[in-house]
Structure 1
Amino acid sequence: MKHRKQDFGKAAWSSKVTAPVIKIDLVIQCKQLPKKDLLSQADAFCVLWRVPNGYTPKIVHGMPCKLPGRQEEERGRTEVARACVHPTFKHRFRLEYSFHEEQTFVLRAYNEDLRYSTDLKEHDYLGGCLFTLGQLMGARGCTLAKRLGHERAILIVTGEEIIETREVLEFRFSCQDLVKERNIIDQSKVLDQCRPYFRLERLNNEDQSWEVVWKSEVLKDTLDPTWSHARLPLQLLCHDNQSNPLKITIWDYEKHSNNHNLLGFVESTVAEIVDKAKDGGIPVFIVMREKKKLFRGSKLKHVGLLKVLKATVIQIPSMLQYLSGGCSLDLMIGIDCTTSNGEWGSEKNMHFSASHWLNDYQAGIMQLGSIAENFARGKNSSIWGIGGKLNDKYFRCHCLEDRLCGGKELLQAYDDNIPDNPDFSLGEPAFLRPLIQSATFRTIKASKKRQCYTVLTVFIAGEIVDLPETVDLICTAAEDAPLSIVLIGVGNGDFTQVQKLCGDENGRIRDSRGIPVAREIVTFVSFKQFAGNATEVIAAALKNIPEQFVEYHAVMNGSKPLPAIPPPKFDEKSTKR
């Protein structure tokens, strides 16, 4: 959602169909464990550590060393599987997976040597592996296998998504006979028309305060409002527990003030609301308002009725479900090749490349490719230039290289075609519409043959000259194409115009006919927002992709995930150290 936490404007906060965090369980298995003791099979157990970004554990013979480094954070240990050659551990590691982040973990397996000792120095080291959650959840069957030190021993890690994180509340509310509070100072305000909206608030268990999680649109001149229907994940509403307290507060919007007037509230739970709305019923809740007594204390006053026109919990497939079934996440990268980058050949030029460091384009491409490659199903990524010149011939939009996969291939394509290309030079101006048009055409064509989704990421150094035409095209693409557009500002230029493609404070962008975009598909971030940190820039840029992905496939297109691809059969010949 694009709103600030206390931005209670006229527009409704965006509905959401994906949980803020996907919870997964790690299931650990071992096969063909060697004997470490003369008279018994291995007594194995495993330990999991989280590794901070940018830190690489010491690798010995293709595996992490026996003991963790100081920066590794232990996340738990399995039970000891006594005298077992092929253990499947009962203990599961519950983790929170975020698509837009690189979450790196180290898993080590040990043979218990000194019983009940917690000191890992006292146990025999069997081996381990280093992996990211993206690699795990993007692997076939969400399963990775690595060979341990012994030539036959295998360590297998499987990620299982928790089903409850897919539950969404679909709801619609209305009110009847709302009563405005009488203004003692200015009696004329009693005659003002009411502009009602409501907020959904959940209880913060830490300090027992109410936290606003969603706000409806503002309606005009009515005491009997009926708001539009909306969807919100239960994780956002009640932390996946339908019995947690939920508060619905109803407000009168004040146009010239941020201090809106509280009309009343209803306290309930998701479970109660859904249960009463079963079988087509329309449950009614009494709206109460606290009224202060003349001398001391207060009492609750009946000020209207809240009707639940619809309330049902539905299951929305997650992005991981689609990807596990073979849906491909394709990457299309656009590079600003205009004079907005600075003087060509100068060290201040944003395409300037040196052997000992990466410029912002290179760092962004590498980080972006390393995340997206986990979910690429084939070589379907490409890199494009905007507004540059080849052999002094200007091009608005040009495919520099196609049929790519992964950060290294994309980075090499950028280096070969721009910084290291003697035939390349900067041009002007920058047109964005041709690139979006190409992306829309390519992804619609590809989607007719296979289930896929395209993330068009455009690195921009300055303003564009075709804003109105681009807005119209984005509104069209949002309806028809499995496409998200990420705009990343490079350098210290003015990106005010580019940011208009994300919409304004009043809501979504509108085309030249005044029709709002069907779904929000554009995200803008810049390197200067994050002091040039490419990891943080790409994480912010990709944060909205799961929501946009699921909204297209599950809500707008109605397509279902394909059956999950089963994991391969692992043996000592098919695994790697």
Structure 2
Amino acid sequence: MPSLGEKLELSFSATKLKNKDMMSKSDPICVVGLCDVEGGEVKEIGRTEVVKDNVNPVWVTKFILDYHFETRQMLVLSVYDWDYKGDSQTAVLNKKDLIGNVGVSIGQLINAGGKGNLDLGKKNGTLTVTAEPIQVSNEAFCISYCASGLDKKDTFGKSDPFLVFRRQNQDKSYTIVHKTEVIKKSLDPVWAPMVLPITLLCAGDENRNIKIECYDADDNGKHDLIGECNTTVSQMRLGPVESNVLNLINPKKLGKKKYTNSGVLKLMNMGTREELTFLHHIRKGTQMHFTIGVDFTSSNGDPKDSSSLHYYKQGHENEYMSAIHAVAQVMQDYDTDGYFPALGFGGKLADGRVSHGFFMNGSSNNPNCKGVSGLLQAYYNAVQSITPYNPTNLSPIINHVAAIAAKNNNGRSYQIVLLLTNGGISDMDATKRAIVNAADLPMSIIIVGVGKDDFSDLHELDADNKRISHEGKLADRDIVQFVELRKFMSNDGEITGANRAALARAVLEELPYQFMDWIRKREGQSAQL
């Protein structure tokens, strides 16, 4: 039983799922939700991959969860039949494709020895959940394998081999932890280098058995086993030595005369590297640079009118000020110098020019403001001196920050742009193009909707449900987080300290994931051998 402060790794499989497809078997995906407040909202924490044409799927995707004895952590698990061509990780799933759902608490799983067979109801099948306590390590193996002399499994050609790594669990069952790519038509394949976290391979026990299976891939999903062998993390650490040249044995052939093996698997290269977490990157000096962009278009109203979103009454923050205060208060702890560039857009300057990137502090060459108070003062000064105008263009500021990110694409700097707007984007096409291009760079975009607009255009930019694209090019990753400010306001229109904290959490909660996603893509998950 895990002790306080440990983490759990959740694995999922299912048997005898109800078939939802007429001409083939279901393509199941498991959606994992978590609720840690009784009667509270269930938050999706992730999805498995889709397993094609299989009513008895074993999903490879794992979920790491902090274990809290003092909290009743409820898992809400839903199995769907995937019938779409889009991104299975972000698409909105249709209720008609639901195979079944079930809830179980982490405590129940732990009390049952870490494993639960859950009935999906109405003969929809059984979902099996395994909760394994793990010791988290930041170390990762950088390894590559090759094989030689594989058995020929195809009648009219050579085999199409791939490897499956399985970690043995405490109950002697096995969990899939990695699959390699398929090498077409080869009996002597060389697989691409892999980066495999130690925690994933052995859950903290370096002498735990790891089974490596070699299969011949078939289009129908019924892959043929060529052979299998066993190793451990401690053995793999020895590198490319004779003890890591392993016979691939097919259990069905063991009784045959003169049978030696079905091929040989060889560890070609082995190295290690540190797989840093978000917190580790911050602690090692990665800087988060925060830029703010504020909407000064005429749709906000005349700042002198009490109905304006920019109207300021002494002692009472307006919505723009509340958003600036909430987010900047958190971000200032991650920026060493504490200076924030503050830009405005959609306003007419004193000289008559309409600008989509003027410096709110009034400077002609330096947009930086010192801390939260400096940002609020710059905003107040801009409200007094800028004439609201049009249009509402977001792309100039996004492109401005993207240019900075491109010049500092060294892994030590990450740009965050906060855009505060009341919606009604005028340059949607240009904004989408800017976001798609920025997705390749070390930056994230946070958009806070101010006022009572329907914000349909801003929701479209948040890739939680569908990856944003422009002219056929998909964004490489999700870098936009959109939040409506009014959801954090009290009935009297005020934002309390608690609501401000909740707003900051909602605005910033995806940032560490977006940052780590960029780090992994930057490194290409390639082994540094």
**Shorter-chain TM-score tier:** 0.5 to 0.7
Q: 2:508 aligns with which of 520, 542, 546?
A: 542
Q: Which runs of structure 2 are paired with 1:90-239 in the superposition (5 Å)? A: 192-199=23-30, 214-218=46-50, 230=61, 232=63, 234-235=64-65
Q: 1:282 to 1:214 in 2, by over 3 A?
A: farther
* Cα separation, 2, equivalents of 1:340 and 1:396: 15
Q: Which moves more between the two structures, 194-203 or 469-478?
A: 194-203
Equivalent position to 1:483, from 443, 448, 451: 443
C-alpha distance in structure 2 between counterparts of 1:476 and 1:269, whole Å: 40
Per-residue CA distance 1:322-348 (angstroms, 9 max, x = gap)? 222222111100000101101342111
| Alignment counterpart, residue 374 of structure 2, candidates 409, 416, 430 | 409
Letter in 2 for 1:427: Y
How many Å separate the matches in 2 of 1:230 and 1:221? 17
Give the distance between the partners of 1:353 and 1:326, measured in 2 at CA: 38
Residue 470 (structure 1) aligned with residue 431 (structure 2): yes
1:266 deviates by: 3.4
Q: Deviations along 1:381-427, whole A, 9 cap, x unmatched?
A: 200111111022111222334233421111112122x1232xx2001
1:439 match:
401
Secondary structure in structure 2 of the residue aligned to 1:356: coil
Match of 2:167 in 1: 274
Q: Partners in 1 of 2:439 and 2:308 — Cα distance?
A: 34
Query: Aligned partners of 1:465, 1:252: CA distance in 2, in Å?
Result: 39
Out of 520, 527, 530, the position equivalent to 2:488 is 530
Per the alignment, do residues 525 and 206 of structure 1 end up closer, same or farther by CA in structure 2, a change over 3 Å counting?
Answer: closer
Q: Distance in 2 between matches of 1:482 and 1:496?
A: 27
Question: How far apart, in 2, do the equivalents of 1:497 and 1:204 lie?
Answer: 30
Report the AA paired with residue 468 of structure 2: I
Q: Secondary structure at the residue paired with 2:447? A: strand
Cα separation, partners in 2 of 1:283 and 1:263, compared to 1, 3 Å: farther
Q: 2:383 aligns with which of 412, 419, 436?
A: 419
Residues 350 and 360 in structure 1, CA contact (< 8 A), matched pair in contact too: yes
Match in the other structure for 1:497:
457
Shift of residue 252, structure 1, vs aligned partner: 4.2
CA distance 1:484–1:191, change in 2 (3 Å): closer
Give 2:127's aligned residue. Answer: 265
Q: Which residue of 2 aligns with 1:455?
A: 416
**Which whole-Å CA distance do the structure 1 matches of 2:333 and 2:53 have between them?**
52
CA-CA distance at 1:362 after TM superposition: 1.6
Residues 397 and 434, structure 1, Cα contact 8 Å, conserved in 2: yes
User: Scaled by the length of structure 2, what TM-score is found?
Assistant: 0.56
Q: Is the 1:198–1:248 contact (alpha carbons within 8 Å) kept by the matching residues of 2?
A: no
Contact 2:17 2:126 in 1 (8 A): no
Task: Give me the whole-angstrom Cα distance separating, in 1, the residues matched to 2:45 and 2:508.
Answer: 22
Instruction: Note if contact 2:447-2:482 (Cα within 8 Å) is conserved in structure 1.
Output: yes
Opposite residue 556 of structure 1, the aligned amino acid is K
Specify the code of the residue in structure 1 equivalent to 2:307.
K
- What is the aligned partner in structure 2 of residue 355 from structure 1? 314
Taking a change above 3 Å as real, the CA distance of residues 269 and 365 of structure 1, as seen in their structure-2 partners, is: closer
Q: Name the CA distance, whole Å, in 1 between partners of 2:311 and 2:459.
A: 26
SS of the equivalent of 1:365 reads: helix
Partners of 1:283 and 1:473 lie apart in 2 by: 44
Distance of aligned partners of 1:440 and 1:191 in 2 relative to their CA distance in 1, 3 Å threshold: closer
Shift of 1:464: 0.6
Partner Cα separation in structure 2 for residue 495 and residue 258 of structure 1: 29
Of 401, 423, 429, which residue of structure 1 is paired with 2:391? 429
Letter aligned with residue 407 of structure 2? K
Task: List per-residue Cα deviations over 1:138-184 (Å, max 9, x = no partner).
Answer: xxxxxxxxxxxxxxxxxxxxxxxx8x67x988x9x999xx86658xx
Preserved CA contact (<8 Å) 1:486 1:541: yes
Structure 2 counterpart of 1:567: none
Give the match's secondary structure for 2:396.
Answer: helix
Aligned residue pairs total 350
C-alpha displacement at 1:217, in angstroms?
4.8
- Aligned partner of 2:87 in structure 1 is none
Query: Structure 1 stretches of 5 or more lacking a match?
Result: 1-93, 95-161, 183-188, 285-303, 561-577
1:456–1:484 Cα contact (<8 Å) kept: yes
Mapped to 1, the partners of 2:77 and 2:307 lie a distance apart of 54
Question: The residue matched to 2:167 in structure 1 has which SS?
Answer: helix
TM-score by length of 1: 0.52
Task: Indicate how the Cα distance of structure 1 residues 322 and 457 shifts in structure 2: closer, same or farther if over 3 A, else same.
Answer: same
Asked which structure has the greater RCO (Cα within 8 Å, sep 6+), the reply is 1
Q: Which residue of 2 aligns with 1:341?
A: 300
Counterpart of 1:368, as a letter, is V
In the aligned structure 2, how far is the partner of 1:206 from the partner of 1:389?
48
User: Do the aligned residues in 1 keep the contact of 2:340 with 2:370 (CA within 8 Å)?
Assistant: yes
Over 3 Å counting, the alpha-carbon distance change for 1:282 and 1:269 in structure 2 is farther
Change beyond 3 A, Cα 1:194–1:368: same
Q: Which amino acid aligns with 2:25?
A: C
Q: Which runs of 5+ in 2 are unaligned?
A: 84-93, 101-123, 135-165, 169-173, 177-208, 216-221, 234-272, 362-366
Percent of counterpart pairs with the same letter? 22
State the distance in 1 between where 2:45 and 2:329 align.
Answer: 33
Q: Match for 2:374: what amino acid? A: E
Letter in 2 for 1:323: I
- Tell me if the contact between 1:200 and 1:246 (Cα under 8 Å) persists in the aligned partners: no
1:441 to partner: Cα distance? 0.7
Root-mean-square deviation over aligned CA pairs: 4.5
Q: Distance in 1 between matches of 2:353 and 2:298?
A: 15
Letter paired with 1:339: S
Q: Deviations over 1:37-63 (max 9, x none)?
A: xxxxxxxxxxxxxxxxxxxxxxxxxxx
Change (3 A) 1:212 1:372: closer
Alignment of 1:385-396 (within 5 A): 385-391=344-350, 392-396=352-356
Equivalent residue number for residue 99 of structure 1 = none
Offset at 1:220? 5.9
Query: What per-residue deviation string (whole Å, max 9, x for no partner) do you get for residues 352-398 of structure 1?
Result: 12222111112221222221111111255200111111022111222
